[in-house]
Structure formats: C-alpha cells, structure tokens
A = this chain, B = another copy of it.
Amino acid sequence: MTAAAAPRARFRPPAVPQVDVGGFWGGRVDAVASRTADILYQRCVEAGMLDQIDPERPSPGVRIPFHIRDESAASTVTTQMFWDSDLGKTIETAAYCLYRRANPELEAKIDAVIDMYARLQQPDGYLSSWYQRIQPGQRWTNLRDCHELYCAGHLIEGAVAYYQATGKSRLLDIMARYADHIGAVFGPEDGKRKGYCGHEEVELALVKLARATGQQKYLDLAKYFIDQRGQQPHYFDGEAQARGADPRHFHFKTYEYNQSHKPVREQDKVVGHAVRAMYLYSGMADIATEYGDDGLRAALDRLWADLNGKRLYVTGGLGPSLANEGFTADYDLPNETAYAETCAAVGLVFWSSRMLGMGPNARFADAMELALYNGSISGLSLDGSLFFYENPLESRGKHNRWKWHRCPCCPPNVGRMVAAIGSYMYGVADDAIAVHLYGDNTARLEVAGRQVRLTQESRYPWEGAVAIAVDVDRPTRFTLHLRIPGWCRKAALSVNGKAVDLASVTADGYAAIAREWAKGDRVRLDLDMPVERVRAHPEVRQDVGRIALMRGPLVYCLEGADNPISLNRVRVPEQAPFESRFEPELLGGVVTLSAKAEADGTADWTDTLYRREPTKAEAMPIKAVPYFAWDNREPGEMLVWLRGA
C-alpha cells in the first residue's frame, strides 16, 4: 500500500468514556444526559418509529406525506425514510449519556430497540426499516434521494458508541454484518454496484467501525464510496433511468446538491446541502488521515479555504439558504434569514475535528471551537429540552425554540455532539497527545502503550487560565501539543513553573513540548481573553459597517431581554470600552459584556417616516450575552452584527 510507504502521525480521537468532562461542557453534557437523551427517545416513540422497526407489529405504512417540492416530478421522499438514522443518533446520544450517568430505564429501552433491529435484520445482513417494512422490494433503487446508506451510517455510529459506553456488542455485531452486506453489494469488483449515498454519512461511520473493530475492509469501503462519488457515467443518472425516471427531473436540479457534480478530488467549492457537504468532507478527512492521502488532503485544503474564506458565518454556522438547506454564493451570509442548520454546524465540528487527525493545526481547531461554542450549541436550549433547526444571527423575536421537528435530524445531532465532547478535546498519536480544547476535565489516554492521565483545571471559556496536571505510572516520553487559539493575541506557557518561550516551540498554532513526562508535572497556560470587535469582509453586504463582539471563543449578541430597544438602532462607537463580568445567576452563569453605546434617537421624529435632518444619537447602555444562550428567556429581538462607528 502506497500510504504505508510514507507513514506519518495519525491523531485519533479518544473514545468518549476516556474523558470525564466538568466545567462549562460538564454542564452542557449534564443537560443532555438528564433531559435530552430521554426526550429524544420519547419523541422517536411518539413519532411512531418503533412501529416501523419492530417486525412483530403490523407495518404502519406511510405516516408522513411524501414531500412535494416540484409538481413536475413525482416526489420520492418522506422523512420517515430517515427514521433509522434518527434512532441511530438517539442510540448514540444515549450511549454517551449512559456513560455519564446511569439511566437503567433508558438503557433498557435502547436494548429493546436493538432487539427489534436484531429481529428485523435479514439473513443476508440487510437492515432498513423503510425498505423492509414500508417499501419492500425496492432496496438500492434510489440512493440519490432515499438515505438508505445514510441510515446505515447512523446506526453504525450508534452501535460503536453503545459498545464503547456499555460494552454491549450486540448492535455492533448487527451493524458489522450489515456493513459486510453493503461491502458485498458495492465496490469496484465486477458485478458490484458502483453507487454511493446521496446523503453522505456512511463513509465516516465506516471509519469509526474500522477503528472500533480493527477491520481494514471497512476503511477500504469508505474510501471506495468517497472515490466513486461524482465519477462518470454518473451513478444517479443510471439509477434514475433504471427506475424509469428522467434524471433531469431531480428536485434539486444540480448534483452539486449532494456533492456528486464531480469527483471529490477535483472539488474546490463548498456547494449544495450543507450537512451533506460536512459529512462528506469529514469522511474524506478520515480517509486522508488513515491512508496518508495527499491528493485528498489537497482537495480538503481547497474546500477548507473556500468555506472559511467565503461561506462561513462568524458563529461557525453555515448554509444560508432554506431552498437547498445549503450554500449559495460567495459572501452571501444573510443574518435574519440564515438557515445555518444546527446539523451543519455540528457537521463542521465533525469535519474540523477530523482535519486534526492529520496533525495539530490551530486553523482547524479554531473553526471546531467556533462551531462548538456558538453555531452548534445554540441549537439546544440551556436545559436540554428545546431545539433550533435554523440558527439566524438576527431575529425580530419570532424565531423561537421548538419541541421537535418534522425532520428531527438536529436534536439528536447536537445531543450526540455535546455528549461526546470529550472526544473532541484531544487527539492521540503513537508518541504524542494534542490538546485541542480547554476546560475542566480528566482524560485517560494511551501513548506508546503507556497510560497517561491529564487533568485540566480551567474556567474556560469564561477565563483563559488553564492548568494541566500530567500523571503517568512511570516517566514517559511523548510530545504534548498545546493549542494556542487563533483568537488569543497574548499567551504565556510554563512547565513546572518554568516559562516556555512560545515563539520557539509553536508551529501551526500549537506549542509542542517534547520531553519525558513524569507524575506531578504541571503545565500552565494563560490565554489573554479581552473583548474583541470582529469585522466581516466588505463583500458580505449584510455585515458591512457592522461589528460582532467576541471574547475568547464566544460570539456575543444583544437580546431584547437586556436591551429594550429596536436593536438596529444601537451603534457601538469604535472607542467604547467593554466591561466583561461573570453573572452566575444569568443563563446558567455567563460572562456578559457591557458598554456605553449610542442609539439613533426617535424622540424628535414625531409622526414622520422620512426627513432630511440627521437623526440625533442618544446614550444607550448595552449588555451582550453569549450567542449560544439566546432565546432562553422571554421571546424578543436578537442581533449579532451591531452597527459600528
């Protein structure tokens, strides 16, 4: 294998149970473990999902109407087709939560669901509640639209997580058998189908399965799906023709929608459905990591530059348009109508974390942190019970959290991401550990066959001081890579009280400390965390002349609850100093930012709508709260991009 000729450090994430999380993320995980996980299961039951997967019950038939997006083409999609994926993500979330907090009732329910899948699985390994119970006889006839492999992927992810958290391998065995069946149906060999899923997901799931089982074949299958995507003759054309359909009657007009418009190695623009794009790039990053595949890496770097240079919200949200749930044009980042689906920001966390598999690089960790602290967890209420599908950056007060969605992809997606936060904090290679995220936690990692325990103490993201205690059974040589966040202009590092010259040890935004570590070693990192004004590229017409407030990794916003005024009347003078203050009683405890700003006055406007005289400014104290925490109080206006000087 070519890749083996040029081995390199591959950083893999720890399994969730390897990291005990406290502090900021501990609170978020507890909300998921104590509320969200049960809610997810309950909502799945209420939707009727168990009626669909349990082979003992009569088939419920189609309960949710097929989508009608285009009257000229009979539509073929109902969200009911995705139910296996919703259950997969629910199982995955539950798994991480069971590790966090015993919940025998929920565990029993998940075991019962797994039992249904065990009984549903066909002798050949095939497993799809939709195609077995609702549309029998049509399996593998519409990979473009019907999420068949996507559902498999989410069940695989759920299986790996459930195994890691509980040690129970039943679902893992089921899904390995199904993966084997998929490998027998799809592949480069003669007689196998040359297809891949319209909604990417199975690729990254197969990587997880390979890592959990040690089976290379799953990696190879993932790589096949990735490399086959967008090849000519186009699989989705032939598949449509085989169904007797005209491929041109694709609802979304262009194969950019599912990133199959050209082979992935030739792609350089992030296009189409945002979640699909993120899942594809995540799988590509995994494969680039595992195979040391520089060609794939080059494509990923181009795509990364495109997203981060032209198509990403300041919150780490992405995909501005409802129409395709995805990308539009360069610099098109409307705030009030931002789609910015929770799942897409979660997907960016997936992608960026996997880019870190190829080595520590703050470029990727910065984006991961941005999406984590802002555009993804904004999708989950502080108590873990309510959800956002869209994450706009401006609201007139009518955008409020929902109990559930018709297409319930986001709730379990943000749930599993939050509950798995520990696995994003570190990367582990043969002789190195990378610390990507800071905050209270204890990690039990294995480097060069040795157990290493790292204990972080930090009030991050509210404060920038981080203390890391290293605990090893006996002195062990490895490199500790410590991220110096891109948002930090001034950092100080010491090991056992001795200052380290950051400039000399830092590469790609990580300080590398290579030494023989001994029990009791102490690392201290101080990250300066002032309030910063952020500006958007002037081609972003919605943000021009405006500023966003950030402190550390957090993006802030104004809410009507704190600022009883039309928020677009507010103007923040360039020199107005901001005061940051931790408010323990507010929104579960957050640092707020306050300043003496101005507002366009209305007192002298009487009844006229337009006039020639300039508007008079009046003093207006403002208080900003973290964006992720918005709409957790009474409904009201919200604004991220504030008018600047």
- Bound-state CA distance A35–B126 (Å) is 67
- Bound-state CA distance A542–B568 (Å) is 8
User: Within 8 Å of chain B (Cβ to Cβ): is A533?
Assistant: yes
User: Within 8 Å of chain B (Cβ to Cβ): is A600?
Assistant: yes
Partner pick for A545 among B538, B600, B612, CB 8 A cutoff: B600
The contact string, 1 if C-beta is below 8 Å from chain B, for chain A 406-436, is 0000000000000000000000000000000
User: Within 8 Å of chain B (Cβ to Cβ): is A66?
Assistant: no
Partner pick for A532 among B309, B545, B612, CB 8 A cutoff: B612
- Bound-state CA distance A610–B310 (Å) is 10
User: Within 8 Å of chain B (Cβ to Cβ): is A544?
Assistant: yes
User: What chain B residues lie within 8 Å of A567 (beta carbons)?
Assistant: 541
User: Within 8 Å of chain B (Cβ to Cβ): is A447?
Assistant: no
User: Within 8 Å of chain B (Cβ to Cβ): is A473?
Assistant: no
Number of copies: 2
Whose C-beta in chain B lies nearest to the C-beta of A567? B541
User: Within 8 Å of chain B (Cβ to Cβ): is A602?
Assistant: yes
User: What chain B residues lie within 8 Å of A534 (beta carbons)?
Assistant: 610-612
- Bound-state CA distance A539–B548 (Å) is 21
The contact string, 1 if C-beta is below 8 Å from chain B, for chain A 519-545, is 000000000000011111111111011
Let me know if A602 and B540 touch, CB within 8 A: no
- Bound-state CA distance A247–B541 (Å) is 45
User: What chain B residues lie within 8 Å of A611 (beta carbons)?
Assistant: 534-535
Let me know if B309 and A533 touch, CB within 8 A: no
Partner pick for A568 among B312, B544, B568, B605, CB 8 A cutoff: B544
User: Within 8 Å of chain B (Cβ to Cβ): is A136?
Assistant: no
Partner pick for A609 among B309, B612, B614, CB 8 A cutoff: B309
Whose C-beta in chain B lies nearest to the C-beta of A305? B607
Q: What's the nearest-Cβ distance from chain B to residue A565, in Å?
A: 9
Partner pick for A308 among B537, B548, B609, B643, CB 8 A cutoff: B609
User: Within 8 Å of chain B (Cβ to Cβ): is A585?
Assistant: no
Q: What's the nearest-Cβ distance from chain B to residue A147, in Å?
A: 25
Q: What's the nearest-Cβ distance from chain B to residue A72, in Å?
A: 13
User: Within 8 Å of chain B (Cβ to Cβ): is A189?
Assistant: no
User: What chain B residues lie within 8 Å of A309 (beta carbons)?
Assistant: 607-609
Q: What's the nearest-Cβ distance from chain B to residue A530, in Å?
A: 10
User: What chain B residues lie within 8 Å of A542 (beta carbons)?
Assistant: 568
Whose C-beta in chain B lies nearest to the C-beta of A602? B538
User: Within 8 Å of chain B (Cβ to Cβ): is A551?
Assistant: no
Please indicate which of the listed interface residues A533, A548, A615 has the most CB atoms of chain B within 10 Å of its own CB. A615
User: What chain B residues lie within 8 Å of A571 (beta carbons)?
Assistant: 545
User: What chain B residues lie within 8 Å of A612 (beta carbons)?
Assistant: 532-535
User: What chain B residues lie within 8 Å of A536 (beta carbons)?
Assistant: 609-610
Let me know if B539 and A566 touch, CB within 8 A: yes
User: What chain B residues lie within 8 Å of A607 (beta carbons)?
Assistant: 305, 309
Partner pick for A569 among B312, B535, B544, B566, CB 8 A cutoff: B544
User: Within 8 Å of chain B (Cβ to Cβ): is A295?
Assistant: no
Whose C-beta in chain B lies nearest to the C-beta of A489? B612
Let me know if B609 and A537 touch, CB within 8 A: yes
User: What chain B residues lie within 8 Å of A532 (beta carbons)?
Assistant: 612
Instruction: Report if A574-B538 is in contact (Cβ < 8 Å); known contacts: A309-B607, A568-B544.
Output: no
User: What chain B residues lie within 8 Å of A312 (beta carbons)?
Assistant: 609
User: Within 8 Å of chain B (Cβ to Cβ): is A60?
Assistant: no
Let me know if A613 and B566 touch, CB within 8 A: no
Q: What's the nearest-Cβ distance from chain B to residue A370, in Å?
A: 10
Partner pick for A610 among B305, B537, B599, B613, CB 8 A cutoff: B537
Partner pick for A541 among B305, B545, B568, CB 8 A cutoff: B568
User: Within 8 Å of chain B (Cβ to Cβ): is A226?
Assistant: no
User: What chain B residues lie within 8 Å of A568 (beta carbons)?
Assistant: 541-542, 544
User: What chain B residues lie within 8 Å of A610 (beta carbons)?
Assistant: 314, 534-537, 548
Let me know if A605 and B314 touch, CB within 8 A: no
Partner pick for A537 among B305, B533, B574, B605, CB 8 A cutoff: B605
Whose C-beta in chain B lies nearest to the C-beta of A546? B545
User: Within 8 Å of chain B (Cβ to Cβ): is A601?
Assistant: yes
- Bound-state CA distance A602–B535 (Å) is 12
Let me know if A602 and B537 touch, CB within 8 A: yes
Whose C-beta in chain B lies nearest to the C-beta of A314? B610
User: What chain B residues lie within 8 Å of A539 (beta carbons)?
Assistant: 566, 569, 602
- Bound-state CA distance A320–B544 (Å) is 23
- Could you show 22 A-B contacts with beta carbons less than 8 Å apart? A308-B609, A309-B607, A309-B608, A309-B609, A310-B609, A312-B609, A532-B612, A533-B612, A534-B611, A535-B611, A536-B610, A537-B605, A537-B608, A537-B610, A538-B566, A539-B602, A540-B609, A541-B566, A541-B567, A541-B568, A544-B600, A548-B610
In the A-B complex, list the 5 residue pairs whose CB atoms are closest, starting with the nearest. Answer: A538-B600, A541-B568, A309-B607, A538-B569, A544-B568
**A residues near B, CB below 8 A?**
305, 308-310, 312, 314, 532-542, 544-545, 548, 566-569, 571, 574, 599-602, 605, 607-615, 643
Given A309-B607, A542-B568, output 10 extra A-B contacts at Cβ < 8 Å.
A534-B611, A535-B611, A535-B615, A537-B602, A537-B605, A537-B609, A537-B610, A538-B602, A541-B568, A545-B643
